[in-house]
Amino acid sequence: MRIVVDAMGGDYAPANVIAGVVDAVKELSVNITLVGQEDLVKAHLKKYSFPKEQINIVHAPEVVGMDDNPIDVIRRKRDCSMVVGVNLLKESGYDAFISAGNTGALVASATFYLRMIEGIDRPGIGLVIPQINGYACLIDVGANADPKPEHIYQYGHMARVYMQSVMGVKEPTVGLVNIGEEEGKGSGFDKQTYQLLQEKMPGFIGNIEPNKIFTGKADCIVCSGFVGNVIIKLTEGFMESAGAVLKREIKKNPVAMLGALMMMGTLKGIKKNVDYSEYGGAPLLGVNGIVMKSHGRSSPKAIKNAIRAAMREVEHKIIEKMQAAIIS
Amino acid sequence: MRIVVDAMGGDYAPANVIAGVVDAVKELSVNITLVGQEDLVKAHLKKYSFPKEQINIVHAPEVVGMDDNPIDVIRRKRDCSMVVGVNLLKESGYDAFISAGNTGALVASATFYLRMIEGIDRPGIGLVIPQINGYACLIDVGANADPKPEHIYQYGHMARVYMQSVMGVKEPTVGLVNIGEEEGKGSGFDKQTYQLLQEKMPGFIGNIEPNKIFTGKADCIVCSGFVGNVIIKLTEGFMESAGAVLKREIKKNPVAMLGALMMMGTLKGIKKNVDYSEYGGAPLLGVNGIVMKSHGRSSPKAIKNAIRAAMREVEHKIIEKMQAAIIS
């Protein structure tokens, strides 16, 4: 299996990306092509020992900034690691592309160069999120802030294929994020989307209130990219501030501090359950190729796990299955 | 001070409402008029001893269900406790009205009978949320799922008056919930709203990403009722599931259980800091009268604290200040 990784994408690139790639080739049967500024990538790779035949470099002189306008990237930064990486996937027989870089630019480059799967109008980022028992796919978490109801319907289809083929759920259910359980709740957009899903979506079980997103009510949870992004950023904020508040409060009280030490194993187990880096990457679904978006602040572990997640998609032939499912 | 309380509103009405009202009259200098089915209210009141002159009852035979359509309530349920309560506030010299009932019906009744403050087109529910240091007003959390940019601008104005007069913040800052910090992020609606706030909103400091909502970046945080409702429901879901997961995991490990016992005081302190019932109610801002929405699952303590919050608004003459600030 051959996977292209954007060495320059993310807040801690290339250091974290390269550290994660090195860990990946040691653990997994995969060959990685790192795309980025060759000298810089080489300098970082020198720090590690690893099976040399599993990592090679393709030079890309330019870098996409986190604030770069997506359209400008396609028009004017054709030599950046992201665009070069997407084109390697398209033209050179690679299996997947992973980037922790600018989300908008990744969505735009992948859409422009790979084109869409027939029957899909806009790509969506599907994040696999933990449930009380198992996992669900939340889509879209940030590719498309202004979707039409038909886009949400297409997201539901893609999430079902993903949950069926990659996660092994036989008949995935689909729920719509809404601010009430009953039909007729939400904005005009939400009401229209509900109608469309009600009419056409296999496995549709109705609205999911935001407090039920992590409880396992539905296997596929659909929403606009704006709402999905609010959900994941708020969730991250909670995980971070819960930890910070707990630490601050515990320090005020020595008995509590001892208590916290005794609970450490349990707390770490819980954190692992909800930690994005355990899953690593979110698939950009809808484009004609396996593209994985990693978190901008990805740790080496998150990069390694994104590679693992991409490999699962390749093994399960997700693109072929999506092409077959959506057209039919 | 004379406050009307909807005895029949909320999931645990009238029991929790009446228990909260009884606690309130014992602790606070306030007279409460309970609106609801007289026999039922009397039967509940009999369980408690309290200063009789501080609570009286106004009979309202009908009850608004949580699923009742708001327009139907105004058209066909004019004898319900909510509509009778709103009209008491309007016509009989009361200072405030509190209900834990159907949000849509409360917004519709208050808007229809009290009318809007001049210069405000749509009411918004402003929730006072804890920050690392202090509080912020998040508006709208569910009155208006489909706002126009001008509504958001008006919410910003009202939140500023609230934070100035009730919370004592001299020059409140205003931030817009958005999925990126930079200008140009979000949907078309968010971009338009950003422009409008940038041009006209005093104290505007730009976008607030969802993970920064509880950090104290802005005193007033504006968003659509859909997004605001997603934020508060997700937050509630976290508080609940964090507790449940912690309990479940701790039970697996006796050392952790002992640790948890030792941390109990600290954990309770944190919970108090984020517990909605500590603040109790969310003001429905924009209507010509002090109306407070309490959580549907309000505990007696939440009801008591909603009464306290309404009293603060009365003391600070929030309506007069809003009328003066918005027209000028």
- Candidate ranges A218-232, A244-258, A265-279; pick with highest mean pLDDT: A218-232
Q: pLDDT grade, residue B237 (50/70/90)? A: confident
- Res B197 pLDDT > 90: yes
Residue of A nearest to B243 (CA): A270
- Whole-angstrom Cα Rg for chain B: 20
CA distance B305 to chain A (A): 24
Q: What is the ipTM of this complex?
A: 0.87
Asked if B233 lies within 8 A of A179 by C-beta distance, the reply is yes
Topology (CATH level 3) of domain A126-276: Isopropylmalate Dehydrogenase (3.40.718)
Please report the pLDDT score of residue B239 as a whole number: 74
pLDDT tens readout for residues B44-54: 999 999 999 99
What are the residues facing B139 on neighbouring strands? Answer: B126, B222
Asked if A177 lies within 8 A of B213 by C-beta distance, the reply is no
Of A142, A210, A253, the CB nearest to B234: A210
Asked if A262 lies within 8 A of B266 by C-beta distance, the reply is no
Question: In chain B, where are the structural domains located?
Answer: 1-120+286-328, 125-276
Among B234, B268, B274, B297, the strongest candidate for a mutation testing the A interface, having the largest count of A CBs within 10 A, is B234
CA distance A247 to chain B (A): 10
The CATH code for residues B1-120+286-328 is 3.40.718.10
Q: Are A17 and A81 in contact (CB under 8 A)?
A: no
Distances in whole angstroms, Cα of residue A117 to Cα of each of A31, A285, A294: 26, 9, 22
* Four-residue CA torsion sign, A17, A18, A19, A24: positive
The CATH code for residues B125-276 is 3.40.718.10
Q: Say what the pTM is.
A: 0.90
Please report the pLDDT score of residue A67 as a whole number: 85
- Res B260 pLDDT > 80: no
| Percent share of chain B, pLDDT over 90 | 77
> What is the CB-side half-sphere exposure of residue A198 using CA atoms within 13 A?
11
Name the DSSP class of A284.
E
Name the DSSP class of A326.
H
Q: pLDDT grade, residue A208 (50/70/90)? A: very high
Please report the pLDDT score of residue A200 as a whole number: 96
- Whole-angstrom Cα Rg for chain A: 20
Q: Look at residue A285 and give its three-state secondary structure.
A: strand
Angle made by CA atoms B310, B314, B317, in degrees to the nearest 5:
135
Lowest mean pLDDT among A172-181, A233-242, A286-295, B73-82: A233-242
Q: Are B269 and A266 in contact (CB under 8 A)?
A: no
Among B211, B212, B217, B239, the strongest candidate for a mutation testing the A interface, having the largest count of A CBs within 10 A, is B211
Q: pLDDT grade, residue B272 (50/70/90)? A: low
CA distance B241 to chain A (A): 8
pLDDT tens readout for residues A277-322: 666 789 999 999 999 999 988 999 999 999 999 999 999 999 999 9
Asked if A266 lies within 8 A of B245 by C-beta distance, the reply is no
Task: Name, in order, each residue with C-beta under 8 angstroms of B127's C-beta and a sequence gap of 6 or more.
Answer: B137, B138, B139, B141, B228, B232, B276, B279, B282
Angle made by CA atoms A171, A175, A180, in degrees to the nearest 5:
155
For residue B14, whether the previous peptide bond is cis, meaning omega lies within 30 degrees of 0, is: yes
pLDDT tens readout for residues B2-31: 999 999 999 999 999 999 999 999 999 999
Phi-psi domain of B287 (left: phi exceeds 0; alpha: psi -120 through 50; beta: other): beta
Q: Are A13 and A293 in contact (CB under 8 A)?
A: no
Name the DSSP class of B298.
-
Closest CA to B145 of B223, B234, B67: B223
Q: How far apart are CA A294 and CA A106, in angstroms?
A: 11
Residue A139 token pair: 């889509």
Of B210, B227, B255, the CB nearest to A262: B255
Q: Look at residue B99 and give its three-state secondary structure.
A: strand
Please report the pLDDT score of residue A253 as a whole number: 73
Mean model confidence pLDDT for chain A: 91
**A1-120+286-328 and A126-276: identical CATH topology:** yes
- Res B99 pLDDT > 90: yes
The phi and psi torsions of B176 (rounded to 5 degrees) equal -105, 125
Please report the pLDDT score of residue B307 as a whole number: 97
Asked if B270 lies within 8 A of A261 by C-beta distance, the reply is no
Average pLDDT over residues A264-285: 71
Average pLDDT over residues B268-296: 81
Please report the pLDDT score of residue A273 as a whole number: 58
Residue of B nearest to A250 (CA): B266
CA distance A179 to chain B (A): 6
Asked if B233 lies within 8 A of A224 by C-beta distance, the reply is no
- Res A126 pLDDT > 80: yes
Please report the pLDDT score of residue A101 as a whole number: 95
CA distance B39 to chain A (A): 32
Distances in whole angstroms, Cα of residue B284 to Cα of each of B35, B56, B158, B190, B292: 19, 24, 10, 23, 6
Q: CB contacts < 8 Å between A and B, how many?
A: 150
Asked if A234 lies within 8 A of B245 by C-beta distance, the reply is no
Residue B255 token pair: 């050392």
